[in-house]
């Protein structure tokens, strides 16, 4: 089987209503391109299983992975990346707020030398006023501590090399700190301005308070990790003159 040029990983939890439209949009945005779409069902309790089964009959590029119980977004992304057959990965959320039309431009940034991550940065948030304020504060605090040169790390639209992602330290919510972790590897992060869309179905899985509390302790941990990290030396084998 020929490997696709890139894999799209979509972590999904109770998004049965959003998935059909999203898959159609991906098919349109990437028409003719060699790709696979991996939807990781993270312990959904709605009809995601049935919907994905129907979608697989329409979209031959679709692959389905299932967590027996909810493990979180970072775990779902890791599951998808491990299963991916392509060296290049793109991600987006299953709720339809990330527009797949940005995927070609995001993947194009990965062709530049030394780039380890291309990250979408939202210039319009489809969230409540309270969430926008909380997100703005969290982003400023993160930027101050990590110096990751990223305005917005919560956007689900991202592209990265599979081998780079798999050598990053894994922990719950690591997806929020990918720019800092990739820079820790000595690689460049590129950004793409994107517009977030309104959610058409379902409801958000995150609250303002719970995200803030968990995010604060994760931020302290990542800050320590960045300070303790050392760039790996570049080594080459030396042969004797007689060889």
For residue 214, is pLDDT > 80?
no
139 exposed, middle or buried (CB, 10 Å; 0-12, 13-18, 19+)?
Answer: middle
From 196, 184, 72, 106, select the one nearest 80 (Cα to Cα).
Answer: 72
* Torsion sign over Cα 6, 12, 15, 16: positive
Interatomic CA distance for residues 19 and 201, integer angstroms: 10
For residue 209, the model assigns a pLDDT of 46
Interatomic CA distance for residues 242 and 64, integer angstroms: 55
Question: What are the tokens at 50?
Answer: 């049935």
pTM: 0.83
Q: What is the largest CA-CA distance in the chain?
A: 72
Question: What are the tokens at 164?
Answer: 């780079």
Query: What are residue 90's phi and psi, to 5 degrees?
Result: -125, 145
pLDDT digits (tens, 9 = 90+) for 92-123: 999 999 999 999 999 999 999 999 999 999 98
pLDDT digits (tens, 9 = 90+) for 220-230: 767 777 777 65
CA distances from 155 to 78, 192, 196, 234 (A): 17, 11, 8, 33
pLDDT digits (tens, 9 = 90+) for 74-85: 999 999 999 999
First to last CA, the chain: 40
Question: What are the tokens at 77?
Answer: 């992304």
Q: What residue ranges define each of the domains in the chain, with the CATH number in brackets?
A: 6-228 (3.90.550.10)
pLDDT digits (tens, 9 = 90+) for 139-185: 666 666 677 878 888 899 999 999 999 999 999 888 989 999 999 99
Strands of the sheet containing 158-161, edge to edge, are 62-67, 35-42, 6-12, 88-91, 158-161, 115-124, 188-195
Residue 61 half-sphere exposure toward CB, CA atoms < 13 A = 21
Q: How many residues are listed for the chain in this entry? A: 243
Q: Is there a contact between 43 and 50 (Cβ–Cβ < 8 Å)?
A: no
């Amino acid at each position: 089987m020929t490997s696709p040029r890139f894999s799209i990983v979509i972590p999904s939890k109770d998004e049965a209503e959003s998935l059909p439209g999203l898959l159609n949009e991906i098919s349109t945005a990437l028409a003719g391109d060699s790709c696979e779409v991996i939807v990781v069902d993270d312990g959904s309790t709605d009809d995601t299983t049935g919907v994905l089964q129907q979608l697989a009959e329409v979209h031959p590029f679709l692959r389905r992975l299932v967590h027996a119980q909810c493990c979180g977004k970072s775990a779902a992304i890791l599951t998808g990346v491990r299963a991916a057959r392509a060296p290049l990965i793109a991600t987006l959320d299953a709720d339809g707020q990330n527009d797949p039309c940005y995927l070609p431009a995001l993947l194009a940034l990965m062709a530049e030398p030394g780039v380890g991550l291309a990250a979408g940065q939202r210039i319009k948030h489809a969230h409540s006023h309270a969430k926008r304020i909380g997100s703005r504060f969290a982003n400023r605090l993160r930027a101050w501590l990590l110096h990751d040169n990223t305005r917005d790390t919560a956007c689900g639209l991202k592209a990265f090399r599979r081998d780079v992602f798999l050598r990053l330290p894994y922990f719950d919510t690591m997806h929020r700190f990918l720019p800092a972790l990739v820079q820790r590897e000595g690689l460049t992060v590129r950004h793409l301005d994107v517009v977030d869309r309104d959610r058409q179905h379902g409801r958000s899985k995150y609250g303002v308070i719970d995200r803030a509390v968990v995010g604060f302790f994760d931020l302290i941990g990542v800050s320590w990790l960045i300070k303790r990290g050392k760039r790996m030396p570049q080594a080459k084998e030396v042969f004797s003159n007689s060889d």
